[in-house]
Amino acid sequence: MTSRLENIKQQRREKLERLRNQGVDPYPHRYQRSHTTAEARELLTREEAGDTQAEEVSVAGRISAIRRMGKSSFADISDSSGKIQLLFQGSGFDEKLRNLLKDLDIGDVIGVRGGLLRTKSGEPTVQVSDFTLLAKSLQPLPEKWHGLSDTETRYRQRYLDLIANPEVKQAFKIRSQVISAIRQFLNERGFLEVETPVLQPSAGGALAQPFTTHHQALDRDLYLRIALELHLKRLIVGGFDKVYELGRTFRNEGISTQHNPEFTMLESYEAYADYQDVMAMLEEMVSQVSRQVLGTTEARFGEDTIDFKPPWQRLSLRDAVREHSGIDFAKYPTAETLGTEMRSRNIEVDQDKNWAKLVDELLKTFVRPKLIQPTFVIDYPVSMSPLAKSKPGEERTVERFQAFAGGMEIANAYTELNDPIEQRERFTEQLKERRGEDEERWTIDEDFLLALEYGMPPTGGLGVGIDRLVMLLTNQPSIREVILFPQLKEKGE
């Protein structure tokens, strides 16, 4: 009946009671530490070099190992900067501390004070003169050597993953640095960071399924945003010439190694720029972020090494598809002819896909997996891109690019369509395609069109999938490895 876990938990609770009876507060309010563990190690090096006088330090962290050796004991504690060894020499403490030492467990959080020394084997160590319990742990931690490898537990109890697997912590530190480097890059270029609504009466700017929610007081359904685009362009109309937003977007679609229902997107809009300018900015931004965070523009990704150094290769969509699939889609201008051509090459083709979707399928199936080094695929058919502006003299083609690296789409950008009349036509066209589906959900954003009618300057827009960019820079094969709490099904009782 009593499992090991029950035993352990009971033992820990007994220890907790024992400590309380001895007047020890197992959960005190604060602790004054003088150094992080990394700073303490660095201080020792300087002391040894004679650069500074020996001094006492106080450090705090979670106990990750205890090695009891009779009269003296070693322990390791770790904080967010790293870990350091502790040496307790039992005779040095009064009875209360000796008892406390006995009842310490792996997992407890403690604060210690003492001088720094290096052991025979060269390990930087705090020789503890005084210590305090800061939080008693009542649960056993994962095993110290193999860490925690069960994927499900790693995601559901990410805190355990972070405690047990230091490299996981590292990936999320990099994520944070990437985001901060992006902000720095854009701020330095005069972009204004803004925040726009997550809750929207209609979800526009992309064609994904939105999440639905309900506002009680207003008694109306609202949607979680699927893109940032339409609001940011309103701000361009309003006279903010360079804006960006870094934020969560939500798509009610399938979950995969490259898709999480909520994910982080960067969108930026720059007045008076076109997609060529945006291309130059993106390759500059990504390479600079990589240099800043990794110290190099080269990133290891699985079997490959990706070099983000500009300029990235530029390839027209038509050439890209022709090269990798052998099909020149320009020769098959309708869904029927293109579909027939694809079927004749043994490509499975969904009957009700329109022409744009077929082209997109060719791109995803044949081209995208081949694009390991950063590549701009440019000049998309207008029917795939309702918010992008046509190329001068080429009505069927728009000034748009998608950036690929590591076989993933990481960015999408275009010269924004700012002709309100044409924009309305494109929306209407799109709505026709959608007819038969959930009618109410797909409405035209009239206020956005109204904004365009006031006049939007020529604008270059950009969307970057931050999670995927972080995957590339941290060499992670799954988006769940760069999202702290990825979406999982609820576990039944």
Partner RNA sequence: GGGCCGCUAGCUCAACUGGCAGAGCAGCUGACUCUUAAUCAGCAGGUUACAGGUUCGACUCCUGUGCGGCUCACCA
Footprint of RNA on 171-210 (CB under 7 A): 205-209
Stretch that binds RNA, among 8-16, 17-25, 315-323, 437-445 (CB under 7 A): 8-16
| Terminal CA-CA length for the chain | 19
- CA-to-CA distance for 189 and 205, rounded, in angstroms? 25
User: Considering the rule CB under 7 A, would residue 148 count as an interface residue with RNA?
Assistant: yes
- CA-to-CA distance for 456 and 192, rounded, in angstroms? 17
Q: How far is the CB of 43 from RNA (least distance, A)?
A: 17
User: Considering the rule CB under 7 A, would residue 89 count as an interface residue with RNA?
Assistant: yes
| Whole-number CA gyration radius for the chain | 29
CA 299 to chain centre: 16
User: Considering the rule CB under 7 A, would residue 259 count as an interface residue with RNA?
Assistant: yes
Query: Binding RNA by CB under 7 A: which of 39, 42, 105, 241?
Result: 105
Query: Binding RNA by CB under 7 A: which of 5, 54, 192, 421?
Result: 5
Q: Are 88 and 100 in contact (CB under 8 A)?
A: no
User: Considering the rule CB under 7 A, would residue 49 count as an interface residue with RNA?
Assistant: no
Q: Are 480 and 260 in contact (CB under 8 A)?
A: yes
CA 34 to chain centre: 32
SS3 sequence, 461-488?
EEEEEHHHHHHHHHCCCCHHHCCCCCCC
- CA-to-CA distance for 411 and 282, rounded, in angstroms? 9
Helix (H, G, I), strand (E, B) or coil at 95: helix
Stretch that binds RNA, among 48-56, 250-258, 320-328, 389-397 (CB under 7 A): 250-258
User: Considering the rule CB under 7 A, would residue 55 count as an interface residue with RNA?
Assistant: no
- CA-to-CA distance for 314 and 297, rounded, in angstroms? 18
Stretch that binds RNA, among 40-48, 70-78, 194-202, 268-276 (CB under 7 A): 70-78
User: Considering the rule CB under 7 A, would residue 217 count as an interface residue with RNA?
Assistant: no
Q: Output 145 or 159, the one with its CB closest to RNA.
A: 145
- Ramachandran area for residue 462 (φ above 0: left; ψ -120 to 50: alpha; else beta): beta
User: Considering the rule CB under 7 A, would residue 361 count as an interface residue with RNA?
Assistant: yes
Stretch that binds RNA, among 180-188, 235-243, 251-259, 269-277 (CB under 7 A): 251-259
Tell me the backbone φ, ψ of residue 252, rounded to 5 degrees.
Answer: -85, 65
User: Considering the rule CB under 7 A, would residue 385 count as an interface residue with RNA?
Assistant: yes
How many residues touch RNA under the rule CB under 7 A: the total is 83
Under rule CB under 7 A, which residues in 110-139 are in contact with RNA?
117, 119-123, 125
CA 331 to chain centre: 40
Q: Output 124 or 293, the one with its CB closest to RNA.
A: 124
Stretch that binds RNA, among 142-150, 311-319, 332-340, 445-453 (CB under 7 A): 142-150
User: Considering the rule CB under 7 A, would residue 441 count as an interface residue with RNA?
Assistant: no
User: Considering the rule CB under 7 A, would residue 248 count as an interface residue with RNA?
Assistant: no
